[in-house]
């Protein structure tokens, strides 16, 4: 298990895990231009890997969209 994943699962608040995952895959996190990030696996597998539930990832994406 990569060290960054261990840090994510043990040190970060649950809501921050999907946010961190999304930001790491954003080509330019400082930009206000909307980007589409394709999930590399089924959403339920990503949720399980992040140690979250489906609603957490959905809420995080919605929050990011609203905040642009």
The predicted pLDDT at position 30 comes to: 86
Domain 3-67 is in which class? Answer: mainly alpha
Tokens at residue 57, please?
């990832």
Distance separating alpha carbons of residues 65 and 50, to the nearest angstrom = 20
Q: Are 37 and 23 in contact (CB under 8 A)?
A: no
- Name the CA radius of gyration of the chain, rounded: 12
pTM above 0.75, yes or no: no
pLDDT digits (tens, 9 = 90+) for 2-44: 656 556 555 567 778 888 888 889 898 888 888 888 888 998 8
> Alpha-carbon distance 49 to 62, whole Å?
20
């Amino acid at each position: 298990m990569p060290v960054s994943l261990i840090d994510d699962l043990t040190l970060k608040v649950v809501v921050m895990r999907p946010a961190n995952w999304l930001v790491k895959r954003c080509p330019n996190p400082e930009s206000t231009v909307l980007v589409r990030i394709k999930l590399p696996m089924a959403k339920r597998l990503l949720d399980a890997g992040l140690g979250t539930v489906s609603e957490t990832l959905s809420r995080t994406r919605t929050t990011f969209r609203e905040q642009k």
